[in-house]
Amino acid sequence: MHNNLIAAAIGVTVGVISAASIFIYRKILANQQYSTTISDLDAANKKIDELQSELEALRLQLRQQKKKKKISRKFSSNDSTYTVIDNDTDIDIGDDEFYDCSDGESVVSDNDLRISEELNQLDIILKEIDEQVNNEFDVKIYYTLKTLVKSHQDNVEVIWRFARASYYHAEAQTDKNFRRIIILEGIQECERIIENRNPDLYKWYAILIGLNGDYLSMADQIKNGVVFKNYIIMALEICPDDSELHYLLGRFKYEIANLSWIEKKVAATLFTEIPSASYEEALDCFKTAIKFEDKNPHIQLYISKCYIALNEYSCAIDSLKKILDKPILTIDDEKVHTEARDHISPNESAVLVMNHRTRVDWNFLWAAMYQACLPNVATHRLKFVLKDPIRHIPGPGWIMQMNGFLYITRRWEEDQNRLSRTLDYLIALDRRFQLLIFPEGTDLTKNSKEKSNKYAMQHVLPQYSFILHPKTTGFSYLVRHLQQAKYLNAVYDLTIAYPDYIPQSELDLMKGKLPNEVHFHIERIPSWNMPTDDLTLRQWLQERWFNKEQILKQFYKKKSFSAKIWPLTKLHPLHIAFSFWSILTGCTILLLIISPVFQLWTLIHSAFFIALSFFTTGFNQLEMGWYWRWKMHFLTKKYS
């Protein structure tokens, strides 16, 4: 028993010693492994530090390369990845360049750095877009920005540039519906972040609002105009030295000052206080705009329009001269030059020459003159030089007499006296006018064309297909007389053409045989570019007619003078005029039927004008005779 206990004790002792030995061994082994791990971690951390140093060096080198080398950029419209490419390196900034094993704080720092680099890359792209827009707008810019908007929905710098691109892209469209879609997209993007206080955002939002007014009713256009004005003023509060903002505010004030009586009544129903502005206020805005920057050619054009509206004609002409003295460098320059040069100013004295295609040309000329005058400024003061028998026509002939039209008999001695008396009378009254003469003397028919060709053969001149050879005597006299009186501002060369049906007489019009379109080509020649002697003026007119033949030859091939067509001016005054004259004609006919008093009044006046037509040279000549008689009477009385 005792021996068994000793054996058990020895066994337990051996077991404990064995277990202790195993434990001590494992502990020593663990300490060795820990030392090895610590050593390995130290080496790993050292390696990480070296890699981070290399990474920073590479990033620094990349930044230096961006500054020193010319970088070309590619933008993919399918996603928002930006790729920077130079001659040796191809780096996709949308991906991580390296896998970073550093701790969490370092990872956040690298992410911030990557985001910062992406923003820098966006700045580079936006700067490049600005440079391209300043040179010439390309539709690719619009689609580039449209993709950028998707990935930078709250970036005001991207949004206002997209609004600007929407404006340029919309202006280039011919499809009105597609144009409006583009405008509304730009407006929608601006309105999402309109609470941002940014002058460019306000400006281009206002411009798009203005464009959208083309698709709205008159009442909504006025409401739109108020929104336009408010955002322009908000932009000016932030950026008071912006020339374009002053120009846009001037445009708003000019349009408000130019509202018709009916439009002002509509505005009065929409607002407790009617939007008000004057031409003087608009002129001040344009002058402020041109003081800050003189690059926008439209500013000078609207300065001239304001002067015309204020009846300051000499200032208006000086302003137009400044436009024409500048070279044409851009498409805008060309448009403004065309409007300044070829639009007919109703407040200048001018001689107009036009080919005479049919007897009814003058019917369409009235509408053309309405459109050709400077838009929304004033109506023309047109007077015709006509054949003497026309003054005998009851009604129209008598009205033309009272309006001072010039009638010629084709007997030069008598015609010269009539022209001289009429021109001196108009100059003495200081009445600005536009005097139209048909140098061909008659309309183009088979008979007149044969006579013109015969004249060409006798005088060794080219034979024409679309015009007749001009008679130069009357034209030369008119121009020289006005030049000597220093009363000629310009000569206008008008060409009329019919692309489809050509009505030959008033009977065609009465039967409803009307052309679908009538085209006019107008060119203004300032007085200082005109010859001053008789022979050179005659040659000038003959050269003009030779060029007119070439212009018409091209027209009947293309059915158009030019791809550029003047925009229509306001049509509601025409509707009002049509309604007025229709009602007046109807009332006149009704009174002639039912009123004996009106019948007697009509009979007396008809007898008076018939007597004038047969026993005098017309009412206008009688009027001029009275004027000169009374003027001589007062002058004699004054100096006696």
Q: Are residues 475 and 539 in the same domain?
A: yes
Give domain status of residue 77, yes or no.
no
| Best CA proximity match to 524, nearest among 306, 373, 298, 360 | 373
Q: pLDDT grade, residue 267 (50/70/90)?
A: low
Nearest to 624 by CA among 468, 405, 467, 455: 405
Q: For 29-43, 49-63, 239-253, 398-412, which range has the lowest pLDDT when averaged over its residues?
A: 29-43
75, with CB counted inside 10 A (0-12, 13-18, 19+), is middle
Spatial distance between the Cα atoms of 225 and 186, rounded to a whole number of angstroms: 17
* Average confidence (pLDDT) over 294-308: 85
- Whether residues 634 and 504 share a domain: the answer is no
59 domain-assigned: no
One domain, residues 445 and 550: yes
82-85: strand order across its sheet: 72-75, 82-85, 90-92
Number of structural domains the chain divides into: 4
Q: How many CB atoms lie within 10 A of CB 549?
A: 16
Query: Could you tell me if residue 579 is inside a domain?
Result: no
Amino acid 363: pLDDT: 85
**Residue 131 sits in the same domain as residue 195:** yes
Q: Specify if 18 maps to a domain.
A: no
Distance in angstroms between the alpha carbons of the first and the last residue of the chain? 180
CA–CA gap between residue 137 and residue 128 (Å, rounded): 12
User: What does the pLDDT look like over 562-606, one tens digit per residue?
Assistant: 755 665 666 677 778 788 989 999 999 999 999 999 999 999 989
CB atoms near residue 501 (< 10 Å): 11
- Residue 94 clears pLDDT 70, i.e. is over it: no
Q: Is 480 in the same domain as 508?
A: yes
Which of 224, 220, 200 has the alpha carbon at shortest distance from 210? 224
- For residue 417, how many other CB atoms are within 10 A of its CB? 11
Q: Is 514 found in the same domain as 591?
A: no
Q: Is the dihedral of CA 190, 195, 201, 207 positive or negative?
A: positive
Q: What number of CA atoms fall less than 13 Å from residue 53's CA on the CB side?
A: 6
Question: Are 360 and 495 in a shared domain?
Answer: yes
Same structural domain, 546 and 606: no
Whether 476 is in a domain gets the answer yes
Residue 375 belongs to some domain of the structure? yes
Name the token pair of 297. 């050619």
Kindly state whether residue 328 falls inside one of the protein's structural domains.
Answer: yes
Q: How confident is the model at residue 355 (pLDDT cuts 50, 70, 90)?
A: very high
Q: What is the CATH number of the domain that holds 214?
A: 1.25.40
Joined together, the tokens standing for residue 186 give 């730009």
* Helix ranges, 429-472 (H): 446-458
**Mean pLDDT value of segment 255-274:** 67
Phi and psi angles of residue 327, each rounded to the nearest 5 degrees, phi first: -70, 155
Mean pLDDT, range 354-376, rounded to an integer: 81
463-494 confidence digits (pLDDT tens): 999 999 999 999 999 999 999 998 898 899 99
Q: Does residue 334 share a domain with residue 354?
A: no
Residues 374, 470: one domain? yes
| Confidence band of 22 (pLDDT split at 50, 70, 90) | very low
- Of the candidates 75, 207, 209, the residue with the CA atom closest to the CA atom of residue 140: 75
Same-domain check for residues 543 and 620: no
User: Domain for residue 9, yes or no?
Assistant: no
Q: Check whether residue 151 and residue 294 sit in a common domain.
A: no
Question: pLDDT tens for residues 133-185?
Answer: 776 777 888 888 888 888 888 899 999 999 999 998 998 888 888 999 999 99
The range of the structural domain enclosing residue 318 comes to 269-341
Q: Tell me which of 105-119, 396-410, 499-513 is least confident.
A: 105-119
